Structure 1
Amino acid sequence: MTGIETLTRARVDSFVSSTAAELRRRWRRADSTRASFPSLAAGAIADGLAREPVTGDDVLHWVLDGAELPFQPRLDETFGQPPVTLYHDGEFQLDALYWVQSSTDVHAHGFSGAFAVLDGQSVHTRFEFAETHRFDDHFMIGRVVATGAELLDVGAVHEIHEGPALIHSVVHLGCPSVTLVARTCGHSSPIPEYAYFPPTIALDPSKDDLLRTRTVQLVRMLIRSGATGLARTVETLIARCDVHTAFLVVRELSRNAAASTLVHAALGWSEARWPGVAGPFGDAVSAELRHVGAVTMLHRITEPDHRVVLGALAALDEPSQVRGFLRKHVAAETDSLIAGFVRAVRDTGALDIPAERPFDHMMLRPLACEGAG
């Protein structure tokens, strides 16, 4: 092991042990309540990084050089690409989460904690949900509204509160971006960790319903394989499944270019079964396509300010909010920035944009001038 590798390992070991010990001490002084954990975690992380700055590269080399890893609760990449648990004692844990190309769904948490940006930039957006119709505790229709967005740079620290106190999304602009998370272990809240689909849907994304999970997986397989008779299969399925499954099936159709031609029919079948759902379903899948498209384009667009524009498009839908975010976080004049972004997207071939009316394109609609028709 080289001297540099030894120093890296020592720095990460020192940061992890001292930060975990300090957080444990502060939390015990506060009687180890979940309500106190977010602010204590944010303070301990901020103090630890000020005392012993570490980066995503440091953690990477710490692992690759053969560190003795603690218990790793997740070995998949469902949250983090990959996640690396640095500390775990059964009460709380410290994780480094790597993100190569990702925007987290709008979501709430079943745990308390805090996160900090170690590398890269992220667009952090907060939301509120107002329920208008509850089918059950796992599927609701309402209004998912963005209440604020900010550009987070290295060193930014945010508290994580469980349940509806923090409904948010994070669009990662770096490749990779790395976040450090301190969180209570397990799922401490009785409230599901809802996922939200702006502007209309809230659902419990857990895989506890075995039939629903396998149904959606098999529909995805049929879509990807180009199976014949897909329309009839989907029509029959929507006639017998629950509304939660129906939305997930419509979502799967919308995400495949060939199968998306069935979305209109699937919305009609859903509307016939549950009057009033076609509009919310359609709005949610259209917004998701726009957000996912913006994240995907991050691999094509390299200019930093233009990547911030993509981050705004991946997080926000209202033109006034998008332009307000750009005015706050990009030095360039907003109209010039947007015009340059549109040219760059057209020149790279990332989108086929109408020359005369570029904002007619679904992806670029939120960049239209405020008040434009």
Structure 2
Amino acid sequence: MDLYEHQAKELFGRHGIPIPPGRVAATPEEAKAVAAELGVPVVIKAQVKTGGRGKAGGIKAAAGPASAEEEAAGVLGMDIKGHLVRTVLVEAATVPFEEYYAAFLVDRAQGGFLAMVSAQGGMEIEELAETDPDAIVRLPIDPVTGVDADTARLLAAKAGLPDAAAPVLERLWQVMIEEDALLVEVNPLICTTDQRIVALDGKVTLDDAAAFRHSWAYTEASAGLEEQARAKGLNYVKLDGRVGVIGNGAGLVMSTLDVVAGAGAAPANFLDIGGGASAQVMADGLEIILADPDVRSVLVNVFGGITTCDAVANGIVTALELLGERGLARPIVVRLDGNNAEVGRRILSDARHPVVRQVSTMDGAAETAARLAAGV
């Protein structure tokens, strides 16, 4: 489970990690009110689960309440890499003297944890990792011993961070372990002009399998959709994009997600209907996907095998009849290949459903779905 920045900072605050004061706003008027409460210049930060917000124009400075209202109006509703901005974090502006990078993550290849710390943080950290990898200190962390005060001081010293950063690194490790996180990242972790260490941003991925041990209050609409899908026997995972994806077989669905991303769009979900693509299964799948307000188009990518393409096509036609008006909500791109593909395509052509578009190749179908999701 990926957290929004404001949720990550809530965790940081509980563990004693310094963060700027701020609050979430869902409307420009709320942003104005928060800025008035803070009584200082603020920063309006788009709350989306993706990077590159600054370059996309999703982070704006505001000198006061009126400016905060105006800037929030411009940020709310933005599309940042396929993520719709529904809320903003209105946060007291904090001037950095220096910017650093710090992260703890699960290192699956080594069966342990990895610390990554650099004296160079900010928006270009990905470029830094490619052009000057030695600028990022990487230290394997023993799962048994973890990060104590000595290890934190070693990390800070090796990366060129001030001594004052060591306690913050130790507390970030506490977040990683005590909250059952897979990733805890701060970029930038800053030293202010008055020599305070502050987490100016935050990214946290929690381990869903550990949810039974916690009282996380991060349930979203996606959780409801996943529960509904499980009740219908569907393998569904909510993602953050605009293109809904249905396929038969986990491998094919994963490939489809990659192709959608390659077409310049972000997939809205993973949905594997399995081998039995009956009319009811297809209807259930489409119902789940069309209930997601983020979805702007749907891509059905099926390779006929034991379940033939004509059976899938009949399933789609029947599913759209079962869904009625709900089936007209968004365009549906269908790519059929494999056993009885020609028959299946003919069935869909004869049905002449207004929202269905057929494309013969996976790349072409993904490109079409991406264009439709973008309103082109």
TM-score of the aligned structures, taking structure 1 as reference length: 0.28
TM-score, with length taken from structure 2: 0.28
Report which of the two has the higher share of helix: 1
- Greater Rg over alpha carbons, structure: 2
